[in-house]
Structure 1
Amino acid sequence: MDKMNLLSIVTIISLFVSFFLVFFLLTVKTEYKTSNRLFAFFLILTAIDVSEPLLNSVSSGPSNLGMLRNTFAFLQIPVFYLYVLSVCYSDFKLRPKHLIHLLPFLVVNAVLLPHFYTVDTASKVNFLVNHQHMPELQFNHILFHIQVIVYCTAVFLLLRKAKTLYLENNAGTHVNSYNWLFQFTVVLTILYSIALLKNIFKFSDYLYISEWIKIGALVLQLFIVCWYLYKALNNPGLFRNIDSKLKLVSDLISEEKNDTPEAVNENIHNEELLKLKKFMTEEKPFLNPSLTIQDISKELEIPVRELSVLINHQLGQHFYDFVNTYRIEHAMNILKDTTKSKVTILEILYEVGFNSKSSFNTAFKKHTGKTPTEYRNSLQNNTL
C-alpha cells in the first residue's frame, strides 16, 4: 500500500467518524445546544482540513477555493476556545464581540489577496511551487504558530479558573468533567504541536518528513475524534456549567479587607461558622448530589460571598471538599452500622449524595486513607 492510498483510507475513516459525531451533537436532546453547535463547527472545520488528500486527488490545479480551505485552519482553535468558554460558563452567549476571533482568518486571506486570489492559474502554480520563498506563506505560518500558542495558553488558564470556581461553589461530582476537558485540551495541544513541526519541515529541505508527519497527525486525529465520540455517547450531559459572574475567593478576600475591619470580620465569621456547622449536621443538605453554595446561602440567609470566604478561606477548604467531608462521615457511619452490613457500596454512595463511584472512592480514600471496601473489611476484621 503506497502513501497516497494510506492517506486516503485514513482520511475517509476520519471524515466518516467526524460527521457522525457532528450529527450526534446537532441532534441529541440537551440544554447545552450552544456548546454542541460550537464543537460541531470545530469538527466540520477539522474535517475540511483533513480532507486535503482527497481533494488533491481530484483537483486539476490550485484554486481560490482550495486556498480558502487551507486558511480555515485559522478558525479551528478560536472556535475550540469559544467551545470551552461555553461549557465552563452557564451564561455564555455568542455576542458581536466574539467576532474578533475572526481577525487572524481575515488577515491571512487579505495577505494572500494580491499574489494568489487575484492572479491567473499559472501564477498560482508558481506561487505554490516556490512556497518556501513566498513571504505571504511564511507570514501565515508564523501567525498560525503564534495563534496556537496564544489560544492554548488561554484555554488552560480558563480551565484552571473555571475549575477553581466550581470547587469553591459546587459540591456535585461533575468536577471530573473539567479534568477530562483538560486532558482533551492537552491532546489537542499535542496535535497542534505536531502540525507546527510539520510546517517547519515543509519550509526546509526535508519535505518528505513533513508528509510522513502529516500521515501520523491524521491517524492521531482519528483516534482523538473516536475518543471524544465515546465520551459524548456515554455522557451526553458531560459538563455542569458555572456562572461567569462568580468571583474567586482570593478576589473576594482582597475586597473584604478593604471594606471591613479585621476584628469585625472575625466575629461575624465565628457566628456564621457555628450556624453553618449546625445546619450541616442537623439538616444534612449534603445528601443533595447537586448541592451548591447558593442553596446553603439561601437557607442560612448568609450572602454567597460571605459564605464562600468562610468555607474556602476561613476553613481552608473548597466548598466541594467541605461538603464531601460530611458525605464521607455519613458513609462511614453507615459502614459501621452492623444492621446495614448487606447494603452495597453503590447504594451507600448514592444515599450520601455522590453519583459517581470513582468520585466516591477518591473522596473516601482522601478522607480515610482507605477505599470504602477496605474500610468495611477492616471494621469486620476488628469485630472478629
Structure 2
Amino acid sequence: MITSNSILFTIICVFAIQAIVLSILILKKQPRVLANKFLAMLIIFYAIMAVNIVLVNVLKDIGKLHIFRYIQLELLYGMGPALYFYTISITKPNFKFSNKDFIHFIPLLLEFIFYRTSFYRDGANGLYIDPMSNITYVYLTQQWIGVLSNLIYSIISLRILYKHQHQLKQFYSKLENRSYNWLKIPILIFAIYPIFWNILTEIDRFAFDRNLREYYFLPNFVLLAIACTWISFKGYLTTNTSDLLSIENSNSSPKEITFELDKNFIEKLERLMQNEKPYLNPDLNLSKLSELLEMKPKQVSMKINQNFEKNFYDLVNSFRVKEFQERVKATDLQKISLLGLAYDCGFNSKSTFNSAFKKETQQTPSQLIKRLKNKYE
C-alpha cells in the first residue's frame, strides 16, 4: 500500500468524475450513434480505474480494506474491445453490432465474476506477502493477459485508422475534421499505459522492494485521470459521422488492375483543372469533381488512381502546389505571405500545405522563395 495523499486523491477524483460526466453527455449527444456508446464505455473503464485506486486507499485508512475485494472496479478486459468497436463505428458508420460481437466481451464478464471470488481476494492479498503464493501468480497472469489483450486491440484499431485515412484520400482534398487523427493519441495511451504500469510495478517489486511506489503510484493515476478528461472533451467535440457516411456509400478504394492510359480522361481532367480551377475550392471532394466531369465518382476515382498513380487527395494538392508556384513568380517576393497565398490556392491548413509542397517539389516553400530571391538579385 501507499501513503494516502488527500490532495492527489482529490485531483484524481475531480478529473475522473468529470470524465464520467462527459461520457454520460456523449451518450446523450444527438444524433445518438453507436460510436458514442463505445466511446462512453471506454472512458468509463479508464475513469473507474483511477477512482478505484482512491477507493482502495480510503478503505485502507478507515480499516475496511477487506470490503474492497468485493467491490473491485477495475475492468481491464473491457478496454480493448470498447476501443476496437469505437474505432470501427467511427470509420464505418453503417456498422451494426451483432450478437456474435458479444464474444469480445466474454472475458470482461469472466473478469467481473473473478473479482467477486475468494480466489481473487487471496491472490490480490498475496501481492504483499513474501514469498508469493501460486494463487497470486495466477492473479498476476490474469493481469498480464489483460494487458496483452489491450495491446492487440490497440494495434488492430490503429490499422483500421490508417486504412480509413487512405480511404479518405480517395474522396476528399481536405482531411481536417474527417481523419480522426486525434484518436491515434488515446489509442497509444491506452495501449502503452497498462504495459508501462505493469512493467514499472514489477521493476519496483523486484529491484527496489516496492520502495519507489510513493514516487510514481498516485502521480501515475493523476495523469490517467487527466488523460481521460481530455479524451472525453475531444470525443464529445469531434464525434461526427456525416462525412463518413458518404464514404460508406461510395464503396472503398478501387482495386489495382491491368490497364492502359486513358488519354481522353487525362486531357479532360487537365483541361477542367486549367480552365475552371475547381481545386481552388478547399472543400472540393470526389463527388463535386465527378459532377464537373459528368462521370460517376467510382469511375473518376479509379481513373485517377490508374492514370496519375495518385489518389484524389494527392492529385488535387498537386494542382494546388502548381498554382502556388505560378502565383509566387507573379507576386512581389518582399510582400508575399506564404500561408495567405497557400489558402488562396485551395489549401486549408499550414501543415497540409507544407507536406503537399515538399512531396510534390522535394523542397519547402521557404526554400523556393529563397531560391527565387537569389535568382532576381
TM-score (norm 2): 0.77
Instruction: Tell me, yes or no, if the aligned pair for 2:304 and 2:310 is still in contact at 8 Å.
Output: yes
- Pick the aligned partner of 1:330 from 314, 317, 323: 323
Residues 180-214 of structure 1: CA deviation (Å, up to 9, x unaligned): 43344223322121134257579979772794664
* Displacement after TM superposition at 1:141 (Å): 2.2
In the alignment, which residue of structure 2 is the partner of 1:289?
282
Larger helix percent: 1
| Alignment CA distance shift 1:82-1:214 (3 Å) | farther
- Pick the aligned partner of 1:272 from 265, 271, 276: 265
Gap runs ≥5 in structure 2: 128-132
In the alignment, which residue of structure 2 is the partner of 1:158?
160
- Pick the aligned partner of 1:13 from 11, 15, 32: 11
In the alignment, which residue of structure 2 is the partner of 1:224?
227
Residues 126-172 of structure 1: CA deviation (Å, up to 9, x unaligned): 45434653276356324313412321221122122111112232211
In the alignment, which residue of structure 2 is the partner of 1:119?
none
Count of aligned pairs between the two proteins: 361
| Alignment CA distance shift 1:127-1:14 (3 Å) | closer
Distance 2:149 2:170 in 1: 32
| Alignment CA distance shift 1:3-1:141 (3 Å) | closer
Instruction: Tell me, yes or no, if the aligned pair for 2:16 and 2:50 is still in contact at 8 Å.
Output: no
Matches within 5 A, 1:193-212: 193-197=195-199, 208=210, 211=213
* Displacement after TM superposition at 1:369 (Å): 3.9
- Pick the aligned partner of 1:62 from 66, 82, 99: 66
Instruction: Tell me, yes or no, if the aligned pair for 1:39 and 1:79 is still in contact at 8 Å.
Output: yes
Instruction: Tell me, yes or no, if the aligned pair for 1:287 and 1:353 is still in contact at 8 Å.
Output: yes
Greater displacement, 172-181 / 290-299: 172-181
Q: Quick check: 1:133 aligned with 2:134? A: yes
* Displacement after TM superposition at 1:98 (Å): 4.2
| Alignment CA distance shift 1:209-1:101 (3 Å) | farther
Instruction: Tell me, yes or no, if the aligned pair for 2:84 and 2:153 is still in contact at 8 Å.
Output: yes
- Pick the aligned partner of 2:183 from 181, 184, 191: 181
* Displacement after TM superposition at 1:42 (Å): 2.1
Greater displacement, 85-94 / 222-231: 222-231
Distance 1:207 1:82 in 2: 40
* Displacement after TM superposition at 1:69 (Å): 1.2
* Displacement after TM superposition at 1:54 (Å): 1.9
Distance 2:336 2:19 in 1: 40
Instruction: Tell me, yes or no, if the aligned pair for 1:30 and 1:236 is still in contact at 8 Å.
Output: no
Instruction: Tell me, yes or no, if the aligned pair for 1:287 and 1:351 is still in contact at 8 Å.
Output: yes
Identity %: 22
In the alignment, which residue of structure 2 is the partner of 1:149?
151
Q: What secondary structure, in the 3-state scheme, does the structure 2 residue paired with 1:5 have?
A: coil
TM-score (norm 1): 0.76
- Pick the aligned partner of 2:291 from 295, 298, 315: 298
| Alignment CA distance shift 1:89-1:83 (3 Å) | same
In the alignment, which residue of structure 2 is the partner of 1:74?
77
Q: Quick check: 1:247 aligned with 2:248? A: no
Distance 1:78 1:146 in 2: 12
Distance 1:327 1:188 in 2: 38
Instruction: Tell me, yes or no, if the aligned pair for 1:289 and 1:355 is still in contact at 8 Å.
Output: yes
| Alignment CA distance shift 1:61-1:29 (3 Å) | closer
Distance 2:120 2:182 in 1: 44
Q: Which amino acid aligns with 1:247?
A: S
Greater displacement, 370-379 / 314-323: 370-379
